Amino acid sequence: DAGVTQSPTHLIKTRGQQVTLRCSPKSGHDTVSWYQQALGQGPQFIFQYYEEEERQRGNFPDRFSGHQFPNYSSELNVNALLLGDSALYLCASSLWTAVDSGELFFGEGSRLTVL
């Protein structure tokens, strides 16, 4: 049973560029959340997708956008990259109907470096 998979694992971009990160949820899961983890800090919630719609959003600018596909996989897009966007981006999946149980399954993340 495959867990949450993310790609790419590492990438380097320059300021002003755009980046797309990808996530495949754990088998059977239909809800995907994205978190940003700056070096030495705890993760911060970016947004959550269910049924191809953004359901919740954290305190992130519109440069951060996402998408969910019919197979439940998801993309995180960041436009006009800033140095401060350098971070580990974590994807987490869960089952919408079990949201009350609170357990998320995380991927290993995509490490983005902005130069």
Partner 1 sequence: AQTVTQSQPEMSVQEAETVTLSCTYDTSESDYYLFWYKQPPSRQMILVIRQEAYKQQNATENRFSVNFQKAAKSFSLKISDSQLGDAAMYFCAYRSKAAGNKLTFGGGTRVLVKP
Binding residues for partner 1, rule: CB under 8 A, are 31, 33, 35, 40-45, 48, 55-56, 58, 88, 90, 92, 94, 99-100, 102-104, 106-109, 111
Q: Report whether 88 contacts 111 (CB < 8 A).
A: yes
- Judged by CB, which is closer to partner 1: 75, or 99? 99
Shortest distance, CB of residue 53 to partner 1, whole angstroms? 12
Q: Report whether 68 contacts 49 (CB < 8 A).
A: yes
Shortest distance, CB of residue 16 to partner 1, whole angstroms? 27
- Judged by CB, which is closer to partner 1: 29, or 85? 29
Shortest distance, CB of residue 112 to partner 1, whole angstroms? 13
Give burial (CB, 10 Å; 0-12/13-18/19+) of 97.
exposed
Beta bridge partners of 90: 35
Residue 113's closest CA among 87, 95, 94? Answer: 87
- Judged by CB, which is closer to partner 1: 18, or 113? 113
